[in-house]
Structure 1
Amino acid sequence: MLIMRSMSVMKSAWKLAYRHSSIALRYKATAVPRSSNPQLSFPCLDKLEQKNKTLASAMSEQLTFCAPSVNSLEGGPEPSYSRVVTGFEVFKSDRPTFMDNGGYLPSFEIAYESWGTLNAAKDNMILLHTGLSASSHARSQPKNTKSGWWENFIGPGQYIDTDKYFVVCTNVLGGCYGSTGPSSRDPATDDYYGTRFPIMTINDMVRAQRELVREVFGVKKLHASVGASMGGMQSLAYAWEFPEEVEHVISISGCARSHPYSIALRHTQRQVLMSDPNWNRGFYYDGIPPHVGMKLAREIATVTYRSGPEWESRFGRNRADDSRPVAFCPDFLVETYLDHAGEKFCLEYDANSLLYVLKAMDIFDLGLKNREKAFEVRSKNEEQFFNEVSETLQETLPKEPYQEKIKKATETPEESWKDLQNGMKKIANKKVLVIGVESDILFPVWQQREIADVLRSVSSQQENIQYLELGTNVSNFGHDTFLLSVDHFGPRVKSFLSN
C-alpha cells in the first residue's frame, strides 16, 4: 500500500514537472525574458538630451542663446543676469595692455555703471569690485531698473551712501557682461579670442579698471576700493598697484593669496567644464555651448557658497517627493536645489570666462616674489612690443606656452609669511577694513585673519587696520553672507568710510 502511494506521488510530480517545463519552453519561444527588476528611469538625462536637441536646432537657425527662461534663484551668490545685459556704459582703451603672465590685448573695453554724483574735487569716488560671475549691475538705475546684486547695500542713505559718494562698478576684464573677454573678437583676426585669450591675473583686472578711473572720470585718488569674494582680492590688488591713489580699502570674505583648498575646489570646476566635449578646447561659439560642464561646475561651486549647518536647517534629509521611487537623478531637496542652480547658470555665463576668472583667482598672491616676477614678465613683453612693433601677437607671447607645473613646495611656512609681509608693506599704512565670516568654507575665515595680521605686523599705524568677524551666532550663510546678511556688517562699513 505504501509502495503504491509513493508511486502515485511520483507520477503526480512527473506530470507537474512536465507541465512546468512545457510552459517554460512555450514562454521561451514566444516571449522576451524579463529581468529581475525594471530599469531605472533617468529624467535628468532625458532633459539634457532634449536641451542638446533644442540648442542644435537653435544653432542651425542661427539663433543666439544667452540665458534660459527661468526665475532667479533666491539668495544665490551672484544673482542671475542674462548675457544680454543692458544699461551699462563702455570705456574703450585703444592702448595695448600687457599681462602679468605674458601676452597682451591690443585694445580692451570695460563695462561699468555708476550711482551718485562725482563732486567738484573728485575725491568722493568709490570703486566697487565684483565677485566671480557678477556683472556691473550692483544696483538698479534708470537705464536698468532690475535689482542689482547689492541692491540693499548701495543707494541714498544706505551703507554705501550715494548721497555722499560717487560709486562705480565694473564688469571685470575677462568677463562676458560687456567687458573684453574670451568671447570678444581679437581685432587682429576679427575672430573670437577663445582660448587664445591670454592668461590674466587679478592685478591685470585692476590695472584696466584704473584706466577707466583716470580716463573717464579724471579721478586721481579713490575715496575707497571696496569688494567682496573675488572683489575682496581686487580691492587689495588695486591698493597694492596704486597705493597713493586709494584712501580706504575694504576687503570682505577675500584673501591676500589663494590657498590650496580654494585652488582645489576651483580645479574641480574647471575639470568638469573642460571634459564637456562641447567645450572643444574653447572654440564653441559657433556651436552648442558646453552647458553640461557649466551646470556641473556651478553645482560644485554652489556647495561651497553656504555652510553645512545652513544646508541642514534649510533642507535636512528631506526628499523632494516621498511618493516617488528613490532615484539617481535629483531626489533629495538639496539635490534639486543644486540642480536648479546649475541649470539656471549654465547658459548665462561664458564658459571660457569662467575658466579664465577662476584661474586668475588661483594665481592671486600679493607676496613680494610673485609680484616681482609678474612685473618682470610684463615689463619684458611691453619693452619687446614697443621696440619691435611689427611683431605678431604670437611672437610676443612667452617662448614656453603657459602650463601648470607640479612641484613640491620649497618655502617653509615662515618664509612664506615673510614674503607676504614684504609684499603687503605697500599698503600696510592705508586705512583697511577686513571682514571675515566664520561659517565661510570657500574663503575660510583664517584667510581674512591672515590679511589683518600680516598688515598689522608691518604697519606703523596699526590703528588703521580694522577687522570684523561675523560668528555663526550671527550668520550661517557661509560665503553668501556678504549678500544675505548686509545689516550685520553694513553699519561698520558705513562708519569706516566716514573716517
Structure 2
Amino acid sequence: MSAELTPFEIFEAGDVALQCGITLKGAKLAYSTYGTLNAARDNVIVYPTRYGGSHADNEFLIGTDMALDPSKYFIVVPNMLGNGVSSSPSNTPIPLHGPDFPTITQYDNVMLQERMLRELFGIEQIRLVCGWSMGGQQAYAWAALFPERVAAMACFCGQAITAGHTYVFLEGVKHALITNPEWQQGRYTQQPWRGLTAKGRVWAGWVLSQEWFRAELWRDMGFISVEDYLKNTWDSMYYGLDANDMLSMIRTWQLCDIAANPVYNGDRKAALAAITARSIILPCRTDLYFPPEDNAAEVAQMPNAELRVIDSVWGHYAGGGRNAADTAVIDNALRELLA
C-alpha cells in the first residue's frame, strides 16, 4: 500500500459463504467513511479500493474542493478482501491462513459491501459508485447487481471483464513472485523479498506507457536514470505487503467477470445491459492492460454510458492520482455524475 493507513472501522460479518464454495468464518470488512450520512440516506458514495491499496490510497480524490466532497456526501471506502486490512491470507487464522485462504471474486466483495451498508447504516440507495482499476471492477459489479439502487457509476482505468491479455500479464507478475525459492508454496517464514522485487520490476514496465519512458519523465521525479527510478521506486514497492495477499488479489482480478454470478449466470450482454446508472467510463489512451478498446466494447452494450478517454502518457497511473491533469479529468467526470 502506497499510503500510511488512516483510521478505519471493521464490520464483523460472521461466517460468509463465498462463490468458491468455502465459508470464510469470522469475516471482517474494513472500511473508512468521510462526511455525514443525511437523514434521507441518499447522499452515499461508494468508492472501493484497488489492487495493493487501502482506503488511505483513495483519499487523493476526496476533499472539500473535489467532487467527492465530504461536506456534501457520505463517502464509504470499503477495503477489498485480500488486501491485508479486510480479511486476507495474512490475517485469517488456520485453516484458511496464507495459501489456504479461499478464492475471492468481485461478486463476493460487492455482496459483502452491500450487506455492510445495509446492516450498519440502513443504506439502500447509492448516489455514485466509482473506482480505479480493481476498484472500477467493483463499481461495474455494483451497478449491474443493484441497477435500481445505483444512480451513477464511474470506472477509471478498469474493466467489467478481465481481458485475456490482462490475464496473461498477471500470470507474469504472479510467476515473478512464486518462482522465488523463498516463497515455499506460500508457507514462507519471512516474506520472499527477491520475488516481491521481481514482481515490482515486472509491474514497472506495464503500469506506465512507452511514451512516458520515451519522454524520460522519471527525471521530473528526481531520478537520474531509469535504473535509479527502478531501484528507488519499484524494488521496494511491495515491501511491507504480504505475498499471499498479493496473490489473492491477482486471483480475484483474473477471475473478474461481471456476469459470473447467480444473477447473470455468465450472460455478459445481459449484465452490461442491466446497468441503467448514468455511467462515465474513463480509460487512459496509453493504459497497457486496460486499453480503451476493451472499454468501448463494454460501453456499447450499456444503455446510459459514455466512453471518455483520458489522453495521457501516464498509462494505468492516469487513474491513480499520480498526475494532476489526469486527476482533474476524473474529478470533472465525477462532478457531472453528481450534478
TM-score (norm 1): 0.63
Amino acid in structure 2 at the alignment position of 1:487: A
Q: Secondary structure at the match of 1:371?
A: coil
Aligned to 2:336: 495
Aligned to 1:185: 92
Which of the two has higher C-alpha Rg? 1
Aligned to 2:226: 334
Q: 1:489 Cα deviation (Å)?
A: 2.9
Aligned counterparts of 1:316 and 1:212: Cα–Cα separation in 2: 41
Query: 2:114 matched to 1:217?
Result: no
Q: 1:372 Cα deviation (Å)?
A: 4.4
Q: 1:336 Cα deviation (Å)?
A: 2.8
Q: How does 1:248-327 map to 2 (within 5 A)?
A: 248-284=152-188, 287-314=189-216
Q: How does 1:443-458 map to 2 (within 5 A)?
A: 443-455=290-302
Query: 2:15 matched to 1:79?
Result: no
Question: Which of these residues, 53, 56, 59, is aligned with residue 134 of structure 1?
Answer: 53
Question: Which of these residues, 100, 110, 113, is aligned with residue 32 of structure 2?
Answer: 113
Between the two proteins, the alignment pairs up a number of residues equal to 333
Decide whether the 8 Å contact of 1:424 with 1:454 is kept in 2: yes
Q: 1:210 Cα deviation (Å)?
A: 1.4
Change (3 A) 1:308 1:150: farther
- Percent identical among aligned pairs is 26
Aligned counterparts of 1:374 and 1:430: Cα–Cα separation in 2: 17
Q: Over residues 215-269 of structure 1, what are the superposed CA-to-partner deviations in whole Å (9 max), with x where a residue is unaligned?
A: 2211111111111111110101122222232111111111121111111111011
Q: 1:349 Cα deviation (Å)?
A: 1.4
Q: Over residues 120-166 of structure 1, what are the superposed CA-to-partner deviations in whole Å (9 max), with x where a residue is unaligned?
A: 1111010101210111114xxxxxxxxxx442x21113121222111
Q: After the TM superposition, which parts of structure 1 deviate over 4 Å for at least 4 consecutive aligned residues?
A: 372-375
Q: CA RMSD in A?
A: 2.4
Q: How does 1:398-477 map to 2 (within 5 A)?
A: 419-427=267-275, 429-455=276-302, 459=303, 464-471=304-311, 475-477=312-314
Change (3 A) 1:440 1:308: same
Q: 1:112 Cα deviation (Å)?
A: 1.2
Decide whether the 8 Å contact of 2:264 with 2:270 is kept in 1: no
Amino acid in structure 2 at the alignment position of 1:250: A
Aligned counterparts of 2:21 and 2:261: Cα–Cα separation in 1: 14
Amino acid in structure 2 at the alignment position of 1:490: D
Q: Secondary structure at the match of 1:160?
A: coil
If each structure's helix is expressed as a fraction of its own residues, which one has the higher value?
A: 1
Q: Over residues 337-389 of structure 1, what are the superposed CA-to-partner deviations in whole Å (9 max), with x where a residue is unaligned?
A: 2233333223221111111111111111124xx334997xxxxxxxxxxxxxx
Aligned counterparts of 2:106 and 2:139: Cα–Cα separation in 1: 10
Aligned to 1:163: 71
Amino acid in structure 1 at the alignment position of 2:175: Q
Gaps of 5+ in 2: none
Change (3 A) 1:180 1:374: farther
Decide whether the 8 Å contact of 2:133 with 2:157 is kept in 1: yes
Q: 1:106 Cα deviation (Å)?
A: 1.6
Aligned counterparts of 1:311 and 1:134: Cα–Cα separation in 2: 24
Q: 1:316 Cα deviation (Å)?
A: 8.8
Gaps of 5+ in 1: 1-77, 139-148, 322-331, 376-415
TM-score (norm 2): 0.91
Amino acid in structure 2 at the alignment position of 1:445: P
Aligned counterparts of 1:336 and 1:203: Cα–Cα separation in 2: 40
Aligned counterparts of 2:80 and 2:333: Cα–Cα separation in 1: 26
Question: Which of these residues, 47, 57, 62, is aligned with residue 154 of structure 1?
Answer: 62
